[in-house]
Amino acid sequence: MSNTGSDNINQIVMGFQKARILLTGFELGVFTTISGEGKTSKQAAEMIGTDARAMDRLLNALCAMGFVIKKGEIFSNSPEAAQYLVKGSLDYMGGLMHSSHLWNTWSTLTNAVRSGRSVIPDHFDNRGEDWFEGFIAAMHFRARKNASAVIGLLNLSGVKRVLDVGGGSGAYSMAFAVSNKNIHATVFDLANVIPLTRQYVEKEGLSEQVDYIVGDYMKDSPGKGYDLIFISAVVHINSPEENIILLKKCVSALNRGGQVVIQDFVMEEDRVHPANGAVFALNMLVGTRSGDTYTEGEILEWYNKVGLQNPKKIETPFGTTLMTARLPF
């Protein structure tokens, strides 16, 4: 009898061990500590402030996984680790700290399914500076690779002012600015996010085309006069009722003929596909008060309720979907 099925289950179930090893190495700053010529496990433990024997075993496991190279007693980074896991490197994946935070929230999934809601005490809007820094870094790492291609799928004729709702690092605002020097983008986000946004924008030298509004999109006004309002990876944080409130604010802020663009995982009516959206719905269950992934039909219903017309669905190459609609002239 074939054991293929049971082997597959075991591989999935035990996969958490390697993920935990890598995340612990990242959390402790192991890869940054041993960068360059490398360190012994004792030296690394002293620099980081851990138990020497435990650090030795962690480094050996990272070596077995291919992230660390061991020569004699010296541990150094593999080329992959040196490129992505050492702080200060060009391709540093600082957003892995957000993955580490997700470890804790996903550990509550069983109780969340039992209760029907998130059971963690610190919801999205109450989390600290370290959490937001890791979260924004993770979102930026993904968005900066995709933003230009996503913006290229949109009709930007006549667009001069863009509002980027919950814009985080400003990756999409910057992509709008780069696509056309006549476009000015405004990032609308929370008070503990905007200082991070400013750092990313200034680093790219786009401060003349990108500015900021500090506020809570559920409570505060973003102003008026926008030709396009971009809402990326936001609606899944909210309940349907909250998304209707948000879209009403957007309609009030739009110029006549202006468009709203939602980018998200847009589910088929069976809520099974796309598969990454089905998994992400559980991420919203464990981590937010009322978030979810939504179907095309649900989003079209929201658009209809707030007076947005001519909806269009555009698939991106990155597993997300753009849902656009316009305010009549």
Residue range 295-322, pLDDT digits in tens: 999 999 999 999 999 999 999 999 999 9
> What would you report as the CA-atom Rg of the chain, rounded to the nearest whole angstrom?
22
Which residue in the block uniquely carries the two structure tokens 């900021």? 212
So what's the pLDDT on residue 274?
Answer: 95
So what's the pLDDT on residue 85?
Answer: 97
Helix (H) or strand (E) holding 109: helix 109-115
Structure tokens at 144: 């900066």
So what's the pLDDT on residue 128?
Answer: 63
125: pLDDT confidence band, cut at 50, 70 and 90? low
1: pLDDT confidence band, cut at 50, 70 and 90? very low
127: pLDDT confidence band, cut at 50, 70 and 90? low
Helix 4-28 with 96-106: angle, nearest 10 deg: 120
Query: Residue 121 pLDDT more than 80?
Result: no
Considering the chain, tell me which residue range(s) the CATH 3.40.50.150 domain(s) occupy: 143-326
Does domain 4-85 sit in CATH 1.10.10.10?
yes
Nearest-angstrom CA–CA distance, 205 and 42: 43
Mean pLDDT score of the chain: 94
Residue 290 is given by DSSP the state: S
Q: What is the pLDDT of residues 161-210, one digit of tens each?
A: 999 999 999 999 999 999 999 999 999 999 999 999 999 999 999 999 99
Considering the chain, tell me which residue range(s) the CATH 1.10.10.10 domain(s) occupy: 4-85
With 0-12 / 13-18 / 19 or more C-beta atoms within 10 angstroms meaning exposed / middle / buried, residue 69 is: middle
Structure tokens at 93: 């994946």
Which residue in the block uniquely carries the two structure tokens 């690092």? 169
Beta bridge partners of 322: 263, 314
Highest mean pLDDT among 3-17, 19-33, 131-145: 19-33
Q: What is the DSSP string of 224-246?
A: S-EEEEEEES-GGGS-HHHHHHH
Does domain 143-326 sit in CATH 3.90.1170.50?
no
Beta bridge partners of 145: none
